[in-house]
Structure 1
Amino acid sequence: MTATRYPFLDHSGPLAMAHRGGALHPDNIGYENSMRAFAHAVGLGYEYLETDLHATSDGVVVAFHDDRLDRVTDRTGVISELPWSEVSKARINGHEPIPLLLDVLEEWPTLRLNLDIKAPNGVQPAADVIRKAGAIDRVCVSSFSQRRVWSIRRELGERLCTGFGRVEIAALRYSPFPLVLPGTGACIQIPEYYGRFKVLTPGLIRRAHAAGRQVHVWTVDDADEINRFLDAGVDGIFTDRTDILRDVLIARGQWNPNGASA
């Protein structure tokens, strides 16, 4: 585990992160990104949750993966085009309301959240919620968009832990010198492959660690694959199968649900 000045990353052991609350755990099928799923992961001992963020047309930030309601709720429509008064009526799997980011932060005041801002209109509202909740030190913000990563850093300042944006990942992978630049992210959060292109390599892990950055891989649901990545030196794993990751870490003597500093 690489040293870090960010409380979010301060943990004695690999960061075990419940992707969408553990979307593929048998008890959570159909309830991804719901308070029910998040509570289930917390009950297993997870101290890190992952959720995506969207903002409604009137600037309310929801913890939800898709840009549309259609796939997992009993309503339809694009979240950014609907007011909260309409989005709030949707029910995940017909039963669970869509949680607000503020609800999640307030329900578990010591829990750490990895947040992926999925649309440009979510940056400012998400920054406002994080400030309101006093949660800068217990969140890490990522995005596929380098521009959104830069924007949230400007909004919340140097205390905020962020992942690398795509430009920074490319620079780290291809630069002839280790990337140690002020203002870059604290961690690299990537899959092993983007399409057919392998991005997570032993060389990238070495370069990241040499630059004092952590490497988190997503989304890994197979025990053999989890072991392979841990053996390769990754610092954190996102999983939909919270049961499998937990069992692997227990078997390795690396499950530490109280390892995050308060």
Structure 2
Amino acid sequence: MKYPLLVAALLIAGCAAIVPTAKQHFDLQAHRGGRGLAPENTLAAFSNAIDLGVTTLELDIGLTADNVVVISHDTALNPDHTRDANGNWLVAKSGAAVRSLTLAQLQTYDVGRLNAASNYGKQFALQQPRDGERIPTLASLFALVQARGAAAATVRFNIETKIDPNKPDETAAPEPMVRALLAEIDKAKMADRVTIQSFDWRTLALVGQLAPQLPRAYLSTARTLKDSRWTSGLDAAGFASVPQLVQAAAGKGTGPVIWSPAYADLTPAVIKEAQKLGMKVLPWTVNQRADMLRLMDWGADGIITDYPDVLRDLMRERGLSTPPSGKASS
């Protein structure tokens, strides 16, 4: 009678070994605060993402004319979601550069809804408008998260420096931008919750020198990889793979390294290669369920998405540990 029991025990153990356990550290990142749900890069979007429950708030920063760090994906005011003080949509193809405006001037514009007549507005037709939202300062986002207390105690920030090496006059130069960003992070005592990311790897090299403990995420597309101005002078053609290029750019003895490619550039093999080299893989911007599921199957360490609600549901279905919901705890 002992042998059947032993066999049964072995079968149970074997089955348990092949059932996936909950993955505790899958990084659910709300792209621009979750622009599929609320106006991008606004305090309303970030608050909504905290209520929903995300691991990380993904955002972009630039500098104003008076050197204030503000949250904006565009280097110039975007007519697709910007209205002037009279409530009129900007009519020019591109508004004034963020760098050319003081904070006071910048905050006269309303970025709380999409222009439904624009192609961009049609792309995110389900976004809920929040009239009166302004382009926020990074300091105000840190203050919002601190004010939420326990509801946002574990939320992280993935902050992109919006800078183009081919258009040096559109933004601040890499060093003043990085120094201003690091000063805001230090002032808010948020260093242990921040990752800095960029397509312009010069800024990441500076972060490695000035704040080597901070995680850095190397953003890439097929276009930027073809131009060494984006890769801090490195020629991608001289490397066997992009993960090896990222490893060379990051150097040794610094903080955690992340590779964030366009999701269509990934394969299971290249994800595994990057992870073997010691880096995490966090693709952007993944909005379709089928793509999310495929990347989860391939072993991505997280996903950056405009629809964190969809990804959260899929994580739950897969038995992955989900971040706490701020709404439930507030």
Once the two structures are TM-superposed, the CA of residue 179 in structure 1 deviates from its matched residue by 4.3
Alignment of 1:46-195 (within 5 A): 46-71=54-79, 72-75=81-84, 76-92=95-111, 93=113, 94-109=131-146, 110=153, 111-119=155-163, 120=173, 121-156=176-211, 158-164=212-218, 167=231, 170=236, 171=239, 173=241, 179=247, 181-182=251-252, 183=254, 186-193=257-264
Instruction: Structure 1 unaligned segments of length 5 or more: list them.
Output: 1-10
Amino acid at match of 1:19: H
Q: TM-score, normalised by structure 2?
A: 0.67
Write 1 or 2 for the structure with the bigger share of strand: 1
Aligned counterpart, 2:18 = none
Secondary structure of 2:73's aligned partner? coil
CA RMSD after TM alignment:
2.5
- How many equivalent pairs are there? 239
Write out per-residue CA displacement over residues 17-38 of structure 1, whole angstroms, 9 at most, x where no aligned residue.
000111012xx2xx11111111
C-alpha separation in 2, matches of 1:178 and 1:73 = 36
CA-to-aligned-CA distance 1:60-116 (integer Å, 9 cap, x gap):
011111111233221441101111110122211352011111111121133210000
Shift of residue 233 of structure 1? 0.5
Secondary structure of the residue aligned to 2:241 is helix
Percent identity between matched residues is 29
How far residue 153 of structure 1 moved from its aligned partner, in angstroms, is 2.4
How far the C-alpha of 1:131 sits from its partner, in A, is 1.2
Which ranges of structure 2 fall in alignment gaps of 5 or more residues? Answer: 1-22, 85-94, 114-130, 147-152, 164-172, 221-230, 326-330
Partner of 1:213: 279
Task: Verify the 8 A CA contact 1:178 1:210 in the aligned structure 2.
Answer: no
Question: Counterparts of 2:293 and 2:71 in 1: how far apart (Å)?
Answer: 29
For 1:122 and 1:44, how far apart are their aligned partners in 2?
31
Relative to total residues, which structure has the larger helix share, 1 or 2?
2
| Distance verdict in 2 for CA 1:185–1:164, change over 3 Å | farther
TM-score, structure 1 as length reference: 0.83
Q: Deviations over 1:182-214 (max 9, x none)?
A: 147611011124xxxx3x222321121111110
Answer yes or no: is the 8 Å Cα contact 1:189–1:216 preserved in 2.
Answer: yes
Q: Is the CA contact 1:172–1:207 (under 8 Å) kept in the aligned structure 2? A: no
